[in-house]
Amino acid sequence: MHIKNISFVILLIFLTTCQNKKAIVILKTDADNGGLFLPDGFGALVVADSVGPTRHLAVNNNGDIYVKLRIIDGDLGNIALRDTNNDGKADIFQRFGDYPNDGSFATEMRIHNGYLYFSSEQIVYRQKLTQGKLVPDGKPEVILIDYLPIRWHNTKSLAFDNQGGMYVTFSAPTNVCEDWNSINYVSGGPTANVKGEFPCSQLKDFGGIWKFDENKLEQSQADGQRFATGLRSIVAISWNEKDNSLYAVNHGRDYLYGHAPQYFTQWQNAVLPAEEFMKIKEGEDYGWPYSYYDPFKHKKMVAPEYGGDGIKEAKDYANPIMGLPAHWAPNDLLFYKGNQFPARYKKGAFIAFHGSTNRSPYPQAGYIVAFIPFENGRPMDKWEVFADGFAGVDTITNMSDAKYRPMGLSEGPDGSLYVSESKKGKIWRIMFTADPTKFGEAQLASMEKRKSRSYLKTPDEKSDNLSLRHPNVSAIYTTHCVSCHQNNGQGEENKYPPLAGSEWVNGKTENLIRVILFGQQGEIKVKNKTYNQIMPSFSFLSDEELAQVISYVKNSFGNKGNKVAAAEVTAVRNSKK
């Protein structure tokens, strides 16, 4: 071939390559980094300000963004975003996804082997991505169907091992596999004696990770292999290509004080147990519901519902590789593979912490993106604040105080880190804009200082107890009700119903007394929303104490009701007898 012809071929290849690849553009970050605080040398810009409450997201190799929306009912549960003028801001927003999207935990959004995988609460779908097209064509293929009834913690998070294996979470619907009937809890058993079902029947279908064929259509759980068990609730899961292993971060159990006040204080309830960062090994049992991990003792402890007292150590269960702060709700995990960030980040993991809801009477905590550095293939037993500022306030009394709640993480083709949040659907793109060879401890110092914030530090048992700062707040409400219904009476999103404006609170007093006195199981509707959590019995409180807290609820949070007398409670209690 002549030299002239060779030159033409090289030019043609170059031009073709440029046409098929999005040009790399050095972007200017927002002056305020979109409200975020980041290590020195990093900047951020807001890609989209409000696409609606979101869960996870995925970024394609051309920069297109796919987001899983958190919607309760309806279709078109996905949204695709594209930046057409290379300013880093999305200017095309297109809803898609012709599939049922029932439930509030429809979570996953991942790109794998040219397919877009996403999930509702009970079905895992995928669609083939076509080069140049923003939205996939046709109806989604069904990869997996969960035929069991919809339940709490119904998230279907995914990871892929690059050898055809797809790992799916089947989280447990309860806190510790409570055996309510065995102790007649709903009919008036004391909270000091909550027991756990043994053996826990839920472990047959829940509380673990199952492995499936990523290419086989319409699988059920029976088609999969239970890969690991003893895992209460996993939302953050990822495959680490560095060591070819599966990793996850567990949501730890709640209510140590509520279930066993004879062994645990309210402070311990706020700081125990750890959220567990785990290397998931095939066939391992990680101990739920029989144990929990104490990050101060660095040990697995026997759960009080199964004979534990805060001292007995649990044996024969796999330990996490690291304990993380309690109740921070880790909702995504990403091992960084790009070259844009300094080299140290390529050896570790980012975790999006959605933030706590039940650390009262102490401040709620988390609401950050953290980084865990690795050395020699293992975490260094420390976590760093990587992205902060989502909360917008220093002391988070109620979850609703936080302006944003970090949710999803994804790496862009240029090595940028994308972060989604679940309240309004804001999306940030974080970039490194300095010399990566000069990045070190000095650039991390300002972020380390942020650990003094009330929503990041380990709370002091006395000085950080919010109920002691506000003596006029009902002590009974603070002790027994705040963890679910919050200080402002707004409840917790779709988990615990609000007291503010509730027809149960503002309706017939006898009905409210009965629910608080004897407890409630099964679905109820509050302000046209359905809730299905167990309301425990508070019959261990005296009639006078119950009258006080009911009066407080009926005359707080915008409610205007009558004062309840102890004799009214006595009458309802005697009617049960």
The last residue of one of the domains, among 143, 171, 188, is 143
CA distances from 159 to 75, 162, 212, 241, 323 (A): 25, 9, 10, 11, 22
User: Which of 201-210, 316-325, 329-338, 353-362 is predicted with the least confidence, judged by mean pLDDT?
Assistant: 353-362
Q: Quick one: pLDDT at residue 572?
A: 85
Q: Read off the pLDDT of residues 336-361 as tens digits, 9 standing for 90 and up.
A: 999 999 999 998 999 999 999 989 88
CB within 8 Å of 14: residues ≥ 6 apart: none
What pLDDT shows up at residue 577?
59
Report angle CA 133, 122, 59 to the nearest 5 degrees: 30
* Model pLDDT, residue 333: 98
Q: Indicate the residue among 125, 143, 161 that finishes a domain.
A: 143
The pLDDT of residue 97: 87
Mean pLDDT of 461-476: 72
Rounded Cα gap, residues 369 and 39, in angstroms: 12
Most confident of 82-96, 180-194, 534-548: 82-96
Q: How confident is the model at residue 435 (pLDDT cuts 50, 70, 90)?
A: very high
Q: Does 506 fall in a domain?
A: yes
Distance (Å, whole) CA 547 – CA 573? 12
Q: Find the length of the chain.
A: 577
Q: Average pLDDT in the 471-475 region?
A: 54
340 within a domain of the structure (yes/no): no
The 3-state secondary structure of 169-237, one letter per residue? EECCCCCCCECCHHHCHHHCCCHHHCCECCCCHHHHCCCEEEEEECCCCCEEHHHCEEEEECCCCEEEE
Does the pLDDT of residue 114 top 90, yes or no?
yes
* b/e per residue 453-462 (b: at least 16 CB within 10 A): bbbbebbeee
Dist CA 363 CA 384 (whole Å): 20
Domain boundary among 143, 177, 202: 143
The answer to whether residue 290 sits within a structural domain is no
pLDDT digits (tens, 9 = 90+) for 11-28: 333 433 444 444 445 689
Residue 67 lies in a domain: yes
Cα–Cα distance between 340 and 417 in angstroms, integer? 10
User: Which of the four pLDDT bands, split at 50, 70 and 90, describes residue 540?
Assistant: low
For residue 105, the enclosing domain spans: 57-143
- Classify residue 557: in a domain, yes or no: yes
Residue 322: the pLDDT is 96
64-68, 83-87, 490-494: least confident range: 490-494
In the predicted model, is pLDDT for residue 405 greater than 60?
yes
**pLDDT of 451 over the 60 cut:** yes
pLDDT on residue 1: 43
Q: How many domains does the chain have?
A: 2
| Model-wide pTM > 0.75 | yes
- Give me the CATH number covering residue 570: 1.10.760.10
Average pLDDT of the chain to the nearest whole number: 88
Q: Is the pLDDT confidence value at 276 over 80?
A: yes
Confidence at residue 126, expressed as pLDDT on a 0 to 100 scale: 97
Residue 500 has pLDDT above 70, yes or no: yes
Q: Does the N-terminal peptide bond of residue 199 adopt cis geometry, omega within 30 degrees of 0?
A: yes
pLDDT surpassing 70 at residue 552 = yes
Give 168's pLDDT tier (boundaries 50, 70, 90). Answer: very high
- Tell me the CA distances in angstroms from 87 to 27, 132, 320, one per residue in order: 7, 19, 42
**How much is the pLDDT for 417?**
98
What tens digit of pLDDT does each residue of 117-161 get? 999 889 999 999 999 999 998 899 999 999 998 888 888 999 999
In a domain, 538, yes or no: yes
